[in-house]
Amino acid sequence: MSSRLCSLLYAAVLVVLVAGCAVPRGVPTSGSAPSPLASQVLTTGGSPSSGVRTTSSPSATASSVSTAATTSTVTSTQAATTTRPAPQPAPAPATTTRPAATTRPATTTRPATTTAPACGIAAGLLGKDLTVVPGGANVVALTFDAGANANGVPSILATLSGRHVPATFFLTGAFVNAFPAQSRTIAASYPVGNHTQTHPYLTQLTSAQVQAEIRNGAASILRVTGQDPHPYFRFPYGAVNATTIRLVNAECYVPFRWTVDTLGWKGTAGGMSADAVVQRVVGGLRPGAIILMHVGSNPDDGTTFDADALPRMVDEIRARGYTLVTLERVLPASP
């Protein structure tokens, strides 16, 4: 009995030994990762060299299932996870492209105007040589030209002052240079105008020469009397055309002609007398009349008929209802 028991125990030990040799060492215990060789044996079911087919260990199978399940879970989790796109910067506002600058056409040079913009002369006075005071009122303007000499100045100034008569004087540059004292006395009480520098026929001169005569005359008058002759101008000899008027306007002057020339400057040789002077003035009276006289004497006989006729002339004009004025009635003198 005991020998049989021993035989059985020996057989059991052999079985255990044989079974132990059949199980590969690489079989992992529960929870351990299988080695690559063990994984190969488990997959094929036996050793590739021995050809012995072995039964896979339950724990290994469970481990494989668990690993597969974990992998599936991770995969499913990854699939279920929505990946948020990286935040994109806000788009820059659309840039408005400005149109290319348009090249302006070349500036057209305008022709010179008839008068400087700063003159302030009314458009209605440009391009004209005025023969009357505009407006139609019952006024008369006494005007005196000074060019040759000053022989009649004392008498004329005495009459004007004694009868409180306004008047306007046109002086040449040559006159103020030759008679500075009389010129300053005149300018101290009455408006003065420009009668050029040397009293030439302006229509016979070039534009540059006309301009020089006007400017030189003004400079002389201002230097001697301290009074600016703008804006009053009178053409020597009354010689005028469109070109000379334009040149005068361009120098900021308004030219004044006359309604009546007394002709007293002709003297006795010209058939004149003081009475003839008065008759010519009275016969030519009209609203706005401009009377032309001279301060000098006739160079041949030395007569001063305008100065001599002036007292009676003033009385006759006033007796007929006219008011005596200066050319400031048309536009103010320069300060």
**Alpha-carbon span 68 to 268, nearest angstrom:** 150
Q: Across-strand partners of 168?
A: 143
Helix (H) or strand (E) holding 298: none
List the domain boundaries for the chain. Answer: 131-329
**Does residue 127 come out as left (phi exceeding 0), alpha (psi in the -120 to 50 range) or beta?**
left
pLDDT value of position 93? 43
Q: Across-strand partners of 139?
A: 323
pLDDT value of position 334? 66
Q: What is the CATH T-level fold of the domain 131-329, as seen in this structure?
A: TIM Barrel (3.20.20)
Q: Which residue type sits at 190? A: Y
pLDDT value of position 3? 52
Residues of the chain with confidence (pLDDT) below 50: 1-2, 6, 13, 15-117
pLDDT value of position 282? 98
pTM: 0.66
What's the DSSP call for residue 268?
G
**Using H for helix, E for strand and C for coil, what is the string for 91-153?**
CCCCCCCCCCCCCCCCCCCCCCCCCCHHHCCCHHHCCCCECECCCCCCEEEEEEEECCCCCCH
pLDDT value of position 330? 86
pLDDT value of position 212? 98
pLDDT value of position 104? 41
